[in-house]
Amino acid sequence: MRFPMRLFDRFRIAISTLLHRKAETQRLNDELQFHLQQQITENMAKGMSEHEARSAALRAFGNPTLLRDQARSQWRWNGLEKFMRDLRYGARTLTRSPGFAIIAILVMALGIGATASLFTIVNAVLLKPLPFRDPGRLVMIYEHFRAAVDNTDGFNYNPVSPADFNDWRQQTHSFQDMAAWRYCGFSLTGDYGELPESVAAGAGSWNLFSILGVPMALGRPFTPQEDQLGASHVVILTWSLYQRRFHGDPSILGKQIRMDTVPYIVVGVLPRWFTYPDPTMQLWVPYASVFPPEIYARHDMHGSYVIARLRPGASAAAAVKPVSALQYRIHLANLNAPVAEDAVTRPMLVDMVKAVKTPLIVLLCAVGCMLLIACLNVSNLLVARGAARRKEVAVRGALGGSRRTLILEQMSESLLICLLGGGLGLLLSILATQWLANHWHGLPRANAIHVDGTVLAFTIGASLLTAVISGLLPALSSTGKDVLAALQDSSRSASGSASRALLRKVLLTAEIALTVVLLIASGLLFKTFLHLRSAGLGCLTDHVLTMQYALPKKQYDTPAKIIAFHESLLERVRRLPGVRAAALVSTAPGGGYENDYVFTIPSRPSTSFQLQDDALVRTASPGYFATMQIPLLRGRVFTEQERLDRYHYIVVSKKFADQFFPNANPIGEEINTMGANGKLENFQIIGVVGDTLYDVAQPIKPIMYFPILSGLPRFTNVATLVAHTAGDPLALSIPIQKQFAALDPQLPVYLVLTMEQIVSQSTVSQNFSATLVLAFAAFSLILASIGLYGVLSYLVTQRVKEIGIRLALGAQRAQVLRLVLMDGLRPVFIGLILGLAGGIAAGSMIRSVLYGTSILDPSVFAVMIGCLLLTAVIACAVPAIRASRIEPMRALRTE
């Protein structure tokens, strides 16, 4: 009973000392007064006069103010009280110069805001765990070819073949369970004349959602029976498709929807938050349902992604060993096919963010640099203000103010600036983050981005840290030990400020060095973007419209039907006014990887697939190369003759010829690769054409073109119409789409894009990060030039008298101009050299996102150095000119 009583007492006293501080202080005064009175009374009783009694009592009593402070210092919240007082002082000092305060707060708000935004995204995308059950135990398993080089994200992996996955799952038990999925696509049509629509979809094994721990919003996941070859057709809708196309129909379960004209029964709806692997996914079907039986049993059809759940406490490295051993046995059993030797894992989160990790970290570093520059700038301004208050501080130090108190008091100013800036910055970042998340093309987990407690804590932490960084140096420098020097320092001598000027120059040098690093990094990124933008795809990009379509396999089940559609479409489109030429290709240049095949060259047999030869696969109509102006280098291109069964001919790209037939004529040579129904067949090379890029940001890859007029089902169903137009290509998109509708009203057309749009789409993320870093660099440049201008103006004001004497003694104005200019430019040059070293280091860190430029790109360095020097000279010139115009007489008199 006693203990809680005491706690309660202490609490009551703590509250009352916090809330009734004024009254408590008054009571303390009364108490001390009472003590004094008692002493006086006693003294008088001893026979002193009233006056004597009072002064004797006061003597014995000591300094009442000090006594009061000593008693008060025992109270709780004393530290808080001091802190509040410091803040009040800080606020008062700041409001005395509102211009400085506003600029400093805005600078910090921009710096902290931008940092908080980037952190919000990094936190949501890279750091937050995936929204699945116990996500730390989810890993991806890939095949691993020992001879293959690393993928662009620096990890050697290959998607998995269906038969590999099935063997892994059935024959190894080191993982708790594993699931597989692959991309696929469907045309959605309706029975009541709904608009046809092409949707991206996933084919997932029946246990996919249970391994991830995703409960269905409606209905149930797939059953093992549904995930088998030849099983009945079922589908699970994503929430967005369910809401958008089916208006959230509560009776959707058990209903049929038409996909590629085949009826599928809806068995479930996924929850709203489920957007794996990306938000474009519209629906899911069972994994086995998208494979023809002969493909499902193959070990060399690499296209699936395997997600596995680790047993509790198990390590991925240990769990994958049996899988890898099994894979090696599979490899040995299939030596004549491209089957991987090993299996490798990586955490699912790492797998999802691989593409954005480097750009995000680059941006975060850039924004951190900018924040540091902002800190240095505010620090610089505070040093200048500290100089003005030097005497005041010295006097207070001499009167007994401890250095700690003085430093804390001065830092309260930077604390206020940074806290206000941080608050404002947080508001800014809430707006900016949404904008960033919306405009960042292909950012994974974008729906998880929002400001939360972590971000709030980060912002507060960043504000406090910046307050220390920007406030400590000025406070230390202005409360130095040379109190006497400061007091003696007459306004006539300028020597006292020399050390502070040095400090400011050092800060400035650091600021400029950081700015140079940012400028160079942004220059390299921008050059990359420009390079990608202007990089020729290897074909015509002006006035070309592309649109893709996929003929449903059920209706278009024979080569004749497929060819009939393709040819009548081309004929109709070519007749349209404004169309100069039209042709078909499976995927247009710049439109993506699509697919690759491995092949062998029968004339040069090799024993195994240790070093595979693979090339991109395209199907093309006879007019494709002419329409896209891809040059024919050797031999001939397809004619109307390579059709139906006479399809064993290919056209190859220059890279293909150079790589696989170096110093030889490939025309007439044969290769052996996948033909009809997945069987291996021989194809004769009839021509060599110029290289085209499948992605502007990727190196050239060899390409094999197969005749689209073979009409092979599954191989030629999907096509891209490319039309070279006389005028604005987009103006023809509706007339061309009408030709589709005339031939098959149920057929959706998708990806209606001009070639220029394809190029800009694939450079949009480079554009985005280059623009952002450039904006950060520009802002930093402005900050640095403000700093430069401020320091130099200050120095000129300090040296007015000296310059006046120089001029009076006969110095030329040009000499003075040079003197001041060089004084200002010296830190610029030192900063520049340091910054160049930093820039090279930064460049080598972002090497993986640079294309078409080296980290020592002379044009980037020249432009950026020129930019900096020009800005620096302008910032220095103003104070220098002012210095050279000083009137000697006035300068000497005004002291």
Partner 1 sequence: MGKPSDLVQGTLDLLILKTISLEPKHGWAIAKRIQQISNDVLQVQQGSLYPALHRLEQQGWIRAKWSETEGGRQAKFYSLTAAGRSQLEREKQSWSRLSTAINLVVDEA
Q: Residues interacting with partner 1, by CB under 8 A?
A: 2-3, 5-7, 9-10, 13-14, 17, 27-28, 30-32, 34-35, 37-39, 61-62, 66-67, 70-76
Asked if residues 852 and 527 have their Cβ atoms less than 8 Å apart, the reply is yes
* CB nearer to partner 1: pick between 9 and 728: 9
Asked if residues 579 and 732 have their Cβ atoms less than 8 Å apart, the reply is yes
Q: Name the minimum Å distance from CB 37 to partner 1.
A: 7
* CB nearer to partner 1: pick between 36 and 91: 36
φ/ψ of residue 83, rounded to 5 = -60, -45
* CB nearer to partner 1: pick between 37 and 797: 37
Q: How many CB atoms lie within 10 A of CB 19?
A: 11
Q: What is the dihedral of CA 304, 310, 311, 316, to 10 degrees?
A: 120
Kind plus residue range of the DSSP H or E element containing 159: none
* CB nearer to partner 1: pick between 75 and 597: 75
Asked if residues 344 and 145 have their Cβ atoms less than 8 Å apart, the reply is no
Q: Name the minimum Å distance from CB 40 to partner 1.
A: 11
Q: Name the minimum Å distance from CB 400 to partner 1.
A: 15
* CB nearer to partner 1: pick between 64 and 536: 64
Longest dimension (CA), the chain: 137
Q: Name the minimum Å distance from CB 66 to partner 1.
A: 8
What residues contact residue 365 under an 8 Å CB cut-off, 6+ apart? 842
Whole-angstrom Cα distance, residue 838 to residue 646? 61
Q: Name the minimum Å distance from CB 52 to partner 1.
A: 19
Q: Name the minimum Å distance from CB 81 to partner 1.
A: 14
Closest CA to 442 of 548, 357, 361: 357
* CB nearer to partner 1: pick between 70 and 595: 70
Closest CA to 304 of 288, 324, 280: 288
Whole-angstrom Cα distance, residue 157 to residue 152? 10
Q: Name the minimum Å distance from CB 49 to partner 1.
A: 20
Q: Name the minimum Å distance from CB 82 to partner 1.
A: 16
Helical H runs in 479-538?
Answer: 483-488, 498-534
Pairing state of beta strands 281-286 and 197-204?
A: parallel
Dihedral sign from CA coordinates of 618, 619, 622, 623: negative
DSSP lists the bridge partners of residue 579 as 725
* CB nearer to partner 1: pick between 29 and 677: 29
Q: How many CB atoms lie within 10 A of CB 12?
A: 10
How far apart, in Å, are the Cα atoms of 101 and each of 21, 387, 417, 511, 783?
Answer: 31, 17, 7, 20, 15
* CB nearer to partner 1: pick between 74 and 491: 74
> 643 is written with which tokens?
């059709």
Q: How many residues does the chain have?
A: 895
> 839 is written with which tokens?
């820039």
Q: Name the minimum Å distance from CB 3 to partner 1.
A: 8
* CB nearer to partner 1: pick between 30 and 194: 30
* CB nearer to partner 1: pick between 7 and 19: 7
Q: Name the minimum Å distance from CB 65 to partner 1.
A: 12
Q: Name the minimum Å distance from CB 13 to partner 1.
A: 6
Residue 158 DSSP symbol: B
Closest CA to 292 of 642, 712, 672: 712
Asked if residues 183 and 109 have their Cβ atoms less than 8 Å apart, the reply is no
Pairing state of beta strands 138-144 and 579-585?
A: unpaired
* CB nearer to partner 1: pick between 31 and 249: 31
* CB nearer to partner 1: pick between 7 and 870: 7
* CB nearer to partner 1: pick between 25 and 497: 25
* CB nearer to partner 1: pick between 65 and 603: 65
Q: Name the minimum Å distance from CB 88 to partner 1.
A: 24
Q: Name the minimum Å distance from CB 67 to partner 1.
A: 6
DSSP lists the bridge partners of residue 707 as 620
Whole-angstrom Cα distance, residue 799 to residue 498? 11
DSSP lists the bridge partners of residue 545 as 723, 754
How far apart, in Å, are the Cα atoms of 151 and each of 155, 470, 617, 698, 784?
Answer: 6, 43, 19, 11, 40
Q: How many CB atoms lie within 10 A of CB 813?
A: 14
Whole-angstrom Cα distance, residue 762 to residue 757? 8
Closest CA to 689 of 660, 652, 662: 652
**Cβ neighbourhood burial of 888 (10 Å; 0-12, 13-18, 19+):** middle
DSSP lists the bridge partners of residue 799 as none
The amino acid occupying position 294 is E
Residue with tokens 């092409």: 198
Q: How many CB atoms lie within 10 A of CB 803?
A: 21
Q: Name the minimum Å distance from CB 43 to partner 1.
A: 13
* CB nearer to partner 1: pick between 41 and 499: 41
Whole-angstrom Cα distance, residue 198 to residue 201? 10
Q: Name the minimum Å distance from CB 14 to partner 1.
A: 8
* CB nearer to partner 1: pick between 6 and 604: 6
* CB nearer to partner 1: pick between 35 and 321: 35
* CB nearer to partner 1: pick between 1 and 611: 1
Q: Name the minimum Å distance from CB 401 to partner 1.
A: 17
Asked if residues 643 and 621 have their Cβ atoms less than 8 Å apart, the reply is no
Asked if residues 750 and 188 have their Cβ atoms less than 8 Å apart, the reply is no
Question: Whole-angstrom distance between the N-terminal and C-terminal Cα of the chain?
Answer: 75
Q: Name the minimum Å distance from CB 479 to partner 1.
A: 24
Q: Name the minimum Å distance from CB 56 to partner 1.
A: 14
